[in-house]
């Protein structure tokens, strides 16, 4: 049969198989040439297929040219180009095309081109990408107007848009009005609550969920970790383990910060073994999280071993390792690692220099620290932030260069915070410099007038220089303000359970036994562990297990 005898639809169908195998621009251009040859360049059907290929291959500009050459466009071609723009983060262009579509008049039917159920999900995705809730609400009104509010994909897109725009009340309203909720609906709202730290609402929703996936559990873990509720994060992780739900890369990354903050080393080690067994150590991000966990739990050698075994290291890997070494007083090793980083052609960032400056603080390398600080701008075009200035002030202050530290504070491009002034005040205590201490205290009183620690520190400086009248004056001021010192706390992990002890807290189980044991230890008597347990057992009238 001759091609000239085929109908337009039959000719169009002949091209369909060629699009399935087209994976690059040159191939698409060849197909386009044949389409033009057969006078089908105005075919909405074929141009829609071509735009879909451009979407898969990321050819946004070419797709735009294809779209612009069509004089009369239908809803399917509009949907295709809007989808392409949304998927390639050209959100503004997607919105412009949607508005143009609403104004477009079909020359054949003299009717406006109406959106269908495939239009709105990608228009809403663009609103979410622009984080423009007002625009999203306008599109929501169109969804209702054209009767697509009961379409599950559109409802999920609506809820996702509201979640990403932090409009959780609107998201909840959409969720409550949905006729059919799927896992995407539940997890979308749950993730929104967790991301914004609304963990009570997240927990209630989590308990209501008919089915939970790893996404649900991970959202809860990351949400608790994000607001500093590390105990709760570990509880969720343990519950997940009990139910036999396999942790993935994201859930491992989410729970490790909780282990690091609580010093839950045994759980962290278990996660390391689990990650190794399940191939997760191929992920640089997982290795980075494990290195940070080991460093914060005091196992710097384990962190270094893992770092050395990594298949691929990024700037986070190097920066985390340098910071960990610095915090463990291994300044020389941290600086050497930075030199290795330079040789590896890895560009440092602000976190890298924060670790280097911290290393210099711990080792007292004030001159080297100053060089690293100046190198940020000169060699890497990095603007120091308040944390970098804080490290430099601490370094100079501890090294006795108090006047230079004060001069740097006064010349900072941003307003010094309480940590910087507090660091200077602490250095004044080390070097008994009352003059600079009073300057630092003036600013601290302005920033945090009710922090008792600052007053106690200044009082100690007065005492160190023998000015007892000043000590008396500050103590009277503390009493007049009725200030109380925040009690200290410590953490200990026993049998995979992290216990917190707060100074003066007698509510813990076995509290009396614990304090008796402390008294026996402090008394410096030559007692064995068995002797101490026997004494406590007799005093409490119950048997105390050794393990």
Q: Are 443 and 416 in contact (CB under 8 A)?
A: yes
> β-strand 489-494 against 497-502: which pairing, if any?
antiparallel
CA neighbor of 424 nearest in space, from 387, 459, 398: 398
> Domain 72-181: which topology?
1.25.40
3-state secondary structure 53-98: HHHHHCCHHHHHHHHHCCCCCCHHHHHHHHHHHHHCCCHHHHHHHH
pLDDT tens-digit series, residues 358-385: 999 988 888 899 999 999 999 999 999 9
Long-range CB contacts (within 8 A, 24+) of 436-439: 436/402, 436/403, 436/406, 437/461, 439/406
Q: How confident is the model at residue 507 (pLDDT cuts 50, 70, 90)?
A: low
Residues 352 and 339: their CA atoms lie apart, in Å, by 12
- Over the chain, what is the mean pLDDT? 86
Q: Which two tokens stand for residue 314?
A: 């990024």
Q: Are 325 and 300 in contact (CB under 8 A)?
A: yes
- The per-residue DSSP string of 111-143 comes to SB----TTTHHHHHHHHHHHT-HHHHHHHHHHH
For residue 185, the model assigns a pLDDT of 94
* Same fold yes or no, 72-181 and 388-488: yes
Q: How confident is the model at residue 50 (pLDDT cuts 50, 70, 90)?
A: confident
β-pair partners for 470: none
Residues 60 and 17: their CA atoms lie apart, in Å, by 22
3-class DSSP assignment, residue 490: strand
* Residue 323 burial (CB count, 10 A): 22
For residue 279, the model assigns a pLDDT of 93
Kindly indicate whether the domain formed by 388-488 is annotated with CATH number 1.25.40. Answer: yes
pLDDT tens-digit series, residues 199-238: 999 999 999 999 999 999 999 999 999 999 999 999 999 9
| Portion of the chain with pLDDT greater than 70, in percent | 84
- The per-residue DSSP string of 194-238 comes to HHTT-HHHHHHHHHH-SS--HHHHHHHHHHHHHTT-HHHHHHHHH
pLDDT tens-digit series, residues 296-323: 999 999 999 999 999 899 999 999 999 9
Higher pLDDT, 160 or 526: 160
Query: Can you point out the beta strands (E) in 329-472?
Result: none
Q: CA angle 256-497-194, nearest 5°?
A: 45
| Portion of the chain with pLDDT greater than 90, in percent | 57
For residue 457, the model assigns a pLDDT of 84
* Residue 389 burial (CB count, 10 A): 24
pLDDT tens-digit series, residues 436-475: 999 999 898 888 887 888 888 888 888 888 888 888 888 8
Cβ partners under 8 Å of residue 210, min gap 6: 186
Q: Please state the domain extents for the chain.
A: 1-51, 72-181, 190-307, 313-384, 388-488, 506-540
Whether pLDDT at 496 is above 80? no
CA neighbor of 329 nearest in space, from 363, 353, 356, 369: 363
As a residue count, the chain comes to 547
For residue 53, the model assigns a pLDDT of 85
Residues 463 and 472: their CA atoms lie apart, in Å, by 10
Whether pLDDT at 426 is above 80? yes
pLDDT tens-digit series, residues 244-257: 999 999 999 999 99
For residue 150, the model assigns a pLDDT of 78
Q: Provide mean pLDDT across the span 26-46.
A: 84
Q: Are 456 and 471 in contact (CB under 8 A)?
A: no
């Amino acid at each position: 049969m001759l091609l000239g005898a085929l109908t337009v639809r039959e000719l169009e169908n002949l091209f369909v198989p060629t699009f399935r195998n087209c994976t690059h621009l040159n191939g698409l251009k060849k197909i386009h040439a044949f389409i033009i040859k057969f006078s089908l360049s105005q075919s909405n059907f074929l141009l829609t297929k071509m735009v879909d290929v451009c979407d898969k291959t990321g050819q946004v500009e070419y797709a735009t040219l294809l779209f612009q050459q069509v004089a009369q466009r239908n809803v399917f071609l509009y949907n295709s180009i809007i989808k392409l723009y949304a998927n390639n983060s050209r959100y503004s262009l997607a919105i412009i095309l949607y508005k143009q579509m609403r104004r477009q008049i079909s020359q054949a039917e003299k009717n406006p081109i109406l959106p269908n159920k495939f239009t709105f999900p990608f228009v809403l995705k663009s609103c979410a990408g622009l984080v423009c809730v007002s625009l999203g609400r306008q599109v929501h009104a169109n969804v209702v107007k054209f009767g697509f509010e009961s379409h599950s994909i559109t409802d999920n897109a609506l809820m996702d848009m509201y979640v990403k725009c932090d409009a959780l009340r609107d998201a909840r309203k959409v969720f409550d009005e949905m006729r059919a909720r799927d896992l995407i609906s539940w997890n979308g709202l749950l993730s929104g609550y967790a991301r914004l730290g609304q963990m009570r609402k997240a927990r209630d929703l989590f308990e209501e969920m008919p089915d939970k996936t790893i996404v649900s559990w991970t959202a809860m873990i990351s949400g608790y970790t994000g607001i500093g509720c590390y105990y709760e994060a570990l509880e969720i992780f343990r519950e997940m383990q009990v139910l036999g739900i396999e942790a993935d890369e994201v859930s491992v990354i989410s729970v490790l910060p909780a282990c690091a903050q609580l010093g839950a080393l045994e759980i962290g080690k278990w996660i390391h073994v689990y990650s190794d067994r399940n191939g997760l150590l191929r992920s640089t991000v997982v290795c980075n999280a494990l290195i940070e966990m080991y460093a914060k739990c005091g196992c710097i050698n384990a962190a270094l071993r893992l770092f050395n075994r990594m298949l691929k290291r990024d700037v986070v890997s190097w920066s985390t390792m340098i910071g960990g070494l610095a915090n463990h007083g291994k300044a020389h090793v941290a600086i050497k690692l930075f030199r290795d980083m330079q040789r590896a052609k890895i560009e440092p960032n602000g976190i890298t220099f924060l670790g280097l400056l911290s290393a210099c603080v711990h080792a007292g390398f004030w001159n080297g620290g100053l060089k690293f600080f100046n190198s940020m701008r000169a060699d890497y075009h990095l603007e120091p932030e308040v944390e970098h200035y804080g490290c430099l002030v601490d370094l100079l202050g501890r090294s006795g260069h108090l006047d230079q530290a004060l001069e740097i504070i006064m010349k900072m491009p941003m307003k010094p915070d309480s940590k910087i002034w507090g660091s200077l005040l602490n250095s004044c205590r080390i070097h008994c410099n009352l003059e600079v201490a009073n300057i630092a205290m003036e600013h601290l009183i302005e920033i945090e007038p009710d922090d008792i620690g600052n007053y106690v520190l200044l009082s100690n400086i007065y005492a160190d220089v023998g000015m007892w009248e000043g000590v008396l004056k500050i103590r009277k001021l503390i009493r007049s303000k009725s200030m109380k010192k925040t009690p200290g706390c410590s953490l200990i992990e026993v049998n995979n359970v992290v216990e917190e002890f707060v100074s003066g807290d007698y509510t813990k189980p076995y509290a009396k036994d614990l304090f008796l044991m402390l008294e026996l230890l402090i008394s410096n008597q030559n007692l064995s562990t068995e002797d101490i347990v026997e004494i406590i057992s007799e005093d409490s009238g119950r048997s105390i297990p050794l393990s």
